[in-house]
Amino acid sequence: MDFKYISKDIDDTLTIAENIESEKFPNMVICLDGELGSGKTVFVKGFAKALGIEENITSPTFNIIKEYPNGELPLYHMDVYRLDELEEDIGIKDYYKKGGVTIIEWAEMIKDELPEERLEIVFKIVDENTRVLLFKPYGKVYEELCESVL
């Protein structure tokens, strides 16, 4: 079952991220997709803040992976948009079992590398402020998370 959430502004996106964070668990994987400027990094900022991470969260576009170890759980923030430019394996799958939360921006670009159980969120721009977030849970724990939060 898919779920839909309408974000009317940045604060709504931050709030839904904080609500998802309240249901966090070790080895959680969240996959974010949507066009540029749709709110993916805003979501990560809200999630990180709720984890207690005080560092400034920016998109790791050129780093591919940024690690934030100082929250309630470690946060592994990935932006795989430019991953096809890399020729070596950078060990993305290893992060899924490191006991933290992995959030991947542009996840559709690495579909074959994603774990079977995960939460996918697609961001769709409606207008300057409004976004529709489509949640697709893969696995029972992610279905229960969506049912409790959305």
* Per-residue pLDDT tens over the stretch 129-139: 999 999 999 99
- Say how many residues make up the chain: 150
* Per-residue pLDDT tens over the stretch 2-57: 999 999 999 999 999 999 999 999 999 999 999 999 999 999 999 999 999 999 89
Distances from the Cα of 33 to the Cαs of 14, 77, 80, 103, in angstroms?
Answer: 16, 14, 11, 11
* Per-residue pLDDT tens over the stretch 90-119: 788 999 999 999 999 999 988 888 999 999
**Domains of the chain from N-terminus onward:** 3-130+138-145 (3.40.50.300)
Inter-residue contact 123 to 107 (CB < 8 Å): no
pLDDT class for 121, splitting at 50, 70, 90?
A: very high
User: Residue 81 has what pLDDT?
Assistant: 81
Inter-residue contact 119 to 96 (CB < 8 Å): no
